[in-house]
Copies of this chain bind each other. A is one copy, B any other.
Amino acid sequence: MSRRIEIYDTTLRDGTQAEEFNLSLEDKIRVALKLDELGIDYIEGGWPGSNPKDARFFKEIRDYQLKHARIAAFGSTHHPRKEAHLDENLKALLEAKTPVVTIFGKSWTIHVKEALKTTLERNLEIIESSVKFLRPHVEKLFYDAEHFFDGFKEDPDYAVETLRRAWGAGADCLVLCDTNGGTLPHELVEIIREVKKRLGQEISFGIHAHNDSDCAVANSLFAILEGATQVQGTMNGVGERCGNANLCSIIPNLVLKMGVECEAGKNLPRLTEVSRFIFELANLPHPRNLPYVGRSAFAHKGGVHVSAILRHPRTYEHIEPELVGNTRRVLVSDLSGRSNIVYKARQFGLELSQEDPVVGKIVEEVKKREAEGYEFEAAEASLELLMYRLLGEPKQYFELLGYRVLDMKPTKEGPLLVEATVMVRVPPGVGEVEHTAAVGNGPVNALDHAIRKALERFYPQLKEMKLEDYKVRVLPGTPGTGARVRVLITSRDGDGQWGTVGVSHDILEASCQALIESYTYKLFRDRQRKEA
């Protein structure tokens, strides 16, 4: 009989405390939907009392039908000088209307006295009354014991008493938090054993670890070995200071190595994709060396070992990369590339076999583009167009013959003048040349306006599409303003959204490429649907 664990993701709350991890409201919704697809059990969406963006998230997410996940709102116990039913923070938690609420309280005497500025006895009352107040209104109520391990080291009796109060008042799970991240695994094990002994009753407990000692994953695993039924963490370990426990490491460790079950275990082959999606959305580079999901995690340097690796991967890899949706990268062989391409092609409605020579051509072209800085993971529309082009079905509906962008600020305080002129031939090669111009509030915006203006006479359906997101990443290599940039554009119409990519030393040229791919994809997909 194997054990089952619940995974509690706090990427959208604790994760956004990281210095460079910022998500818009729309991003947060997209992340939540991805986490749901992955099979995460609980998604902590934010702290509704702390800022209006989080409150809006809870309102909007209610419009979506989640497959499995339950959304949690996070907040603190009530104010020392208030009663629970009059406390605005607790009220905001209930107004979030989530099935799950997680409330944190103080376990460390110093924090009670210095941060809360109240007495030890009052803090116990606060914990108890906060939990009791929330209990009838939510399906699941979790109690986060903030600074638990530091608190226990300072005053074990008091720390345990806070747990006893929260449990007695009806919390479903007591989550032991290593808030400052300073606890080492051997201490953690000892403390958990001692806590269980002192409590003298069966409780459900969870673990929330931070990585300040580089042991957050190990701490989480040990807590589970000691009986924890819930593990909290973030995707890619993003979080304040050194980050939270990394769920992208914890989940496969549990499922593949410890025989522990969890819902996300069923979707493990999607782990790498979800991990990369989230950093892509936040415009953060995905660290190559991330365990399980990083681009280098299964990379093997070429040479004598290559054939051995292919014959006996187990002897050089701790797990098969496919189990977590990652791929083996062997520099002298394109074998891993082929199966990927065949898999992708099938998603685009193309049945190709591994042996088909066009698959080799696609692998070559993708590799060449990636070496130039292209990236197709968030630009699947560009990949689809590339495949069709190599299959001899060049999807081209127009031709951009040339463009000129003028961006000027003639006086110091004066307004900007931004103008783009474009020459477009429709259809390509033989058609009319449309020469037109438009202004914009920036150079890319002006280009977008001018190209659309030239095309909409021929393709009025372009009016249905809008550009939803526009991202720029500076590529490693030449430093400074001479560097190459990658532009990713997300577009949308009534039927869905798609991503395209462009790369150049010139940000406007890169943007132009991605824009053209985006219009082309819209026209291509519309025609394909009409034909179907």
Listed in ascending order, the chain A residues whose CB lies under 8 Å from chain B are 17-20, 22, 24-27, 108, 110-111, 114-115, 147, 150, 180-182, 184-186, 211-215, 217-219, 221-222, 225, 237, 240-243, 246, 249-250, 253, 257-258, 283, 287-292, 294, 296-299, 301, 305, 308, 311-312, 315-319, 331, 377-378, 399-412, 414, 416, 418, 440-445, 447-448, 466-474, 476, 479-483, 485, 489, 504-509, 511-512, 515
Contacts and interface: CB of A to CB of B under 8 A. Distances in A.
Contact of A470 (B249, B253, B291, B483): B483
B442 A213 contact: no
A296 B406 contact: no
B24 A241 contact: no
Given A185-B185, A185-B222, A299-B19, A445 B505 contact: yes
Contacts of A297: 212, 241-242
A257 B187 CA distance: 10
Contacts of A402: 408-412, 414
Given A331-B19, A466-B480, A406 B404 contact: yes
Contacts of A213: 217, 249, 253, 257, 291, 318
Contact of A211 (B111, B289, B469, B474): B289
Contacts of A287: 287
Contact of A214 (B147, B217, B315): B217
Contacts of A410: 402, 404
Contacts of A318: 180-182, 212-213
B442 A504 contact: yes
A181 to B, nearest CB: 6
Identify whether the interface residues of A are mostly helix, strand, loop, or mixed.
mixed
Given A410-B404, A442-B506, A472-B472, A246 B214 contact: yes
B290 A242 contact: yes
B294 A242 contact: yes
A184 B506 contact: no
10 contacts: A20-B288, A182-B318, A184-B258, A287-B287, A404-B410, A405-B443, A416-B506, A418-B506, A440-B482, A472-B485
Given A18-B289, A214-B250, A445-B480, 8 more contacts: A19-B301, A211-B289, A442-B481, A442-B482, A442-B485, A467-B479, A467-B481, A472-B485
Given A211-B289, A291-B211, A408 B412 contact: no
Nearest to A418: B506
Contact of A291 (B212, B258, B291, B512): B212
A27 to B, nearest CB: 8
A26 to B, nearest CB: 7
A507 B482 CA distance: 15
Contacts of A221: 184-186, 215
Contacts of A448: 480-481
Contacts of A257: 182, 184, 213
Contacts of A241: 289, 296-299
B298 A378 contact: no
Nearest to A243: B289
A452 B330 CA distance: 45
B186 A301 contact: no
A202 to B, nearest CB: 23
Contact of A289 (B242, B289, B442, B466): B242
Contact of A218 (B147, B215, B289, B291): B215
A458 to B, nearest CB: 18
7 nearest A-B pairs in the assembled complex, by CB-CB distance: A182-B318, A467-B480, A24-B476, A218-B218, A214-B249, A404-B408, A442-B506
Given A241-B297, A443-B407, A467-B479, A114 B215 contact: no
Contact of A407 (B243, B399, B405): B405
A399 B409 CA distance: 13
B480 A469 contact: yes
A114 B289 contact: no
Contacts of A473: 22, 283, 472
A243 B297 CA distance: 9
Given A403-B409, A469-B479, A507 B507 contact: yes
A406 to B, nearest CB: 6
Contacts of A311: 114
A252 to B, nearest CB: 8
B482 A214 contact: no
Nearest to A412: B401
A301 B17 contact: yes
Nearest to A189: B186
A512 B253 CA distance: 48
Nearest to A179: B316
Nearest to A411: B402
A424 B242 CA distance: 44
A215 B19 CA distance: 24
A59 to B, nearest CB: 17
B409 A407 contact: no
A429 to B, nearest CB: 11
